[in-house]
Amino acid sequence: MKLTIHGAARQVTGSMHLLEVGQFKILVDCGLDYEKDRSIQANENFPFDPAEIDLVILTHAHIDHTGNLPTLVRLGYAGQILCTPPTADLTELLLLDSVNLFMRKASKGGKHRKGKFNTAAQPLYLQKHVMDTVERFVTIGFNRPFRVNENVELTFVPIGHLLGAAAAVLKIKDDGVEKTIAFTGDVGRKNYPVLDDPQALPPVDYLVIESTYGGRYHTKDKTVEQTLVEVIEKTCIKEQGRLIIPAFSIGRTQSLVYSLNKIFSTGLLPPVKVFVDSPLASRSTEVFRKYHSLVNSEAQEFYQKRGDEFEFDNLTYVETMKDSRQVSNYYEPCVIISSAGMLDGGRIQDHLFYNIQNYYCTILFIGYCAKGTLGHRLLRGDPIVHIKDRELAVYATIKQTDVLSAHGDHDDLMNTVKQVDKGKLKDIFLVHGETESMNLLAGALEEDGYGVTIPEKGVSYDLN
Kindly tell me which of 63 and 315 has the beta carbon lying closer to Zn ion.
Answer: 63
Q: How far is the CB of 91 from Zn ion (least distance, A)?
A: 12
Q: Supply φ then ψ for residue 233, to 5 degrees.
A: -60, -45
Q: How far is the CB of 166 from Zn ion (least distance, A)?
A: 12
How many angstroms separate the CA atoms of 295 and 164, rounded?
A: 10
SS3 179: strand
Cβ-Cβ contacts under 8 Å for 346 (sequence gap 6 or more)? 278, 338, 339, 340
Kindly tell me which of 88 and 363 has the beta carbon lying closer to Zn ion.
Answer: 88
Q: How far is the CB of 60 from Zn ion (least distance, A)?
A: 6
Q: How far is the CB of 398 from Zn ion (least distance, A)?
A: 25
Q: Which whole-number Å values give the CA distances from 446 to 226, 383, 414, in the listed order?
A: 37, 44, 11
Kindly tell me which of 277 and 409 has the beta carbon lying closer to Zn ion.
Answer: 409
DSSP secondary structure string, 199-260?
A: PPPPP-SEEEEE-TTTT-----SS-HHHHHHHHHIIIIIIS--EEEEE--TTTHHHHHHHHH
Q: How far is the CB of 62 from Zn ion (least distance, A)?
A: 3
Kindly tell me which of 62 and 262 has the beta carbon lying closer to Zn ion.
Answer: 62
Through-space distance between the first and last CA atoms of the chain, rounded to whole angstroms: 7
Q: How far is the CB of 147 from Zn ion (least distance, A)?
A: 27
Q: Is 114 exposed, middle or buried (0-12, 13-18, 19+ CB in 10 A)?
A: exposed
Kindly tell me which of 6 and 62 has the beta carbon lying closer to Zn ion.
Answer: 62
Kindly tell me which of 186 and 350 has the beta carbon lying closer to Zn ion.
Answer: 186
Q: For the sheet containing 166-174, what is the strand order?
A: 146-149, 152-158, 166-174, 177-183, 206-210, 427-431, 452-453
* Ramachandran sector of residue 366 (left: φ over 0; alpha: ψ -120 to 50; beta: rest): alpha
Chain centroid, CA 166 distance in Å: 13
Q: How far is the CB of 251 from Zn ion (least distance, A)?
A: 8
Kindly tell me which of 63 and 152 has the beta carbon lying closer to Zn ion.
Answer: 63
Binding site for Zn ion (CB under 5 A): 62, 186
